[in-house]
Amino acid sequence: MKILVLIGNVPDTTTKIKFNADKTAFDAAGVQWIINPWDELALTRAMELKEAPGSSIESITVANVGRQETEATLRKALAIGADKAIRVDADAQDAFYVANQLAQIAGGFDLIFAGVEASDYNGAAVGGMLAELLGIQSVSAVSGLLVEGNSIKITREIEGGSQTVGVVTPVVAIVQKGIAKEPRIPAMRGIMMARSKPLEVVNPVATETRVSFVSFDLPPAKANCKKFTEEQGKELINALREEAKVL
């Protein structure tokens, strides 16, 4: 069984968000780039599956759509333990553009992992779009996954509970928190080995842009916090009723 893990290159989650002067684009100056947190958990789970005794996983490939500067993030994925990386050499336009590029390289994989969303533009769309373009099943809100022969057993979150479902490969698993406990951190040996692992660069296919950002705004600053003393808990609750009118 071959696994593909989609890797998003996103600003570190502690980044203070700012935009350029005319507010049309994210200001990337001084930003640290990381593997999208859910993609990192997905890769960790893929590694656990591959390392399990009697595993049928032959290889783990990671892929992204991005320019050369995103290769550091793919190398990190290789250092964590992926066998091979593919980069589609293009600027990510919208979610459909990204999914359509990935559809060119995603055929032939049995299990495809996508994160539930990317922490930058919160699209939550690429995994589902890719599955539709490939004409295969997708299961979303995945918090647990086991491989049993050519069938995949998935635990997913549903409104008000959870559910175990079985699905036959190929399938796109769109994962959230819980899929792996802690993301793996590359070890020195992994970092050394990553340098010699294959990283293939693929040209993009022509794809229309369906959605675009016109501009961005930061949310309005909050008014000052109204402070009460440690003994005034009751007064605060009363203010929620009388003043804020939320109780």
Partner 1 sequence: MSVLIYVDNTDGKFKKAGFEAASYGAAIAQQAGMKAVAVSLGKVDAAELQKLANYGINNVMSSADERFASMDNQAAAKALAVAAIQCNAEIIVLAHNNLGKAIAPRLSVKLQAGLVTNVTGLPTSLSPFTVNKNVFTGKAVGHTTIHTPVKVLTLSYNSFGLVEKTTDLVVESFDTGLGQADFGLNVEQTQQVTGKILLSEAEIVVAGGRGMKGPENWSGIEELASVLGAGTACSRPVSDEGWRPHGEHVGQTGKIIAPNLYFALGISGAIQHLGGVSGSKVIVAVNKDPDAPIFEAADYGIVGDVMKVLPQFIEAAKELKG
Binding residue for partner 1, selected from 90, 124, 146, 199, defined by CB under 8 A: 124
CA–CA dist 60, 49 (Å, integer): 10
Q: Inter-axis angle of helices 95-105 and 126-134, to 10 degrees?
A: 50
Taking the complex as a whole, the smallest distance from the CB of residue 170 to partner 1 amounts, in Å, to 11
Beta strands in 29-83 (DSSP E): 33-35, 59-65
Q: Tokens standing for 118?
A: 């990317």
Stretch that binds partner 1, among 60-68, 74-82, 191-199, 220-228 (CB under 8 A): 220-228
Applying CB under 8 A, what is the total number of residues that bind partner 1?
83
Taking the complex as a whole, the smallest distance from the CB of residue 215 to partner 1 amounts, in Å, to 5
In the complex with partner 1, the residue whose CB is nearer, 108 or 219, is: 219
Q: What are phi and psi of 63, to 5 degrees?
A: -145, 150
Binding residue for partner 1, selected from 137, 146, 202, 204, defined by CB under 8 A: 137
Q: Go through the chain and tell me how many residues it has.
A: 247
CA–CA dist 115, 138 (Å, integer): 12
Stretch that binds partner 1, among 64-72, 104-112, 125-133, 199-207 (CB under 8 A): 125-133
In the complex with partner 1, the residue whose CB is nearer, 80 or 171, is: 171
In the complex with partner 1, the residue whose CB is nearer, 32 or 122, is: 122
**Window 145-164: residues binding partner 1 (CB under 8 A):** 153, 156-164
Stretch that binds partner 1, among 66-74, 75-83, 185-193, 237-245 (CB under 8 A): 237-245
Find out whether 220 and 212 touch, Cβ atoms under 8 Å.
no
Residue of 141, 137, 162 whose CA lies nearest to 152: 137
Report which residue type is found at 4: L
Task: Based on the shown chain and the rule CB under 8 A, indicate whether residue 247 belongs to the binding site for partner 1.
Answer: yes
> Who's near 135: CB < 8 A, 6+ residues apart?
none
Task: Based on the shown chain and the rule CB under 8 A, indicate whether residue 232 belongs to the binding site for partner 1.
Answer: yes
Task: Based on the shown chain and the rule CB under 8 A, indicate whether residue 127 belongs to the binding site for partner 1.
Answer: yes
Tally the C-alpha atoms within 13 A of residue 5's C-alpha that lie toward its C-beta: 34
**Window 164-193: residues binding partner 1 (CB under 8 A):** 164-168, 174, 177-178
Report which residue type is found at 79: A
Stretch that binds partner 1, among 56-64, 79-87, 124-132, 192-200 (CB under 8 A): 124-132
Task: Based on the shown chain and the rule CB under 8 A, indicate whether residue 22 belongs to the binding site for partner 1.
Answer: no
Task: Based on the shown chain and the rule CB under 8 A, indicate whether residue 238 belongs to the binding site for partner 1.
Answer: yes
**Window 44-83: residues binding partner 1 (CB under 8 A):** none
Residue of 211, 214, 208, 175 whose CA lies nearest to 101: 208
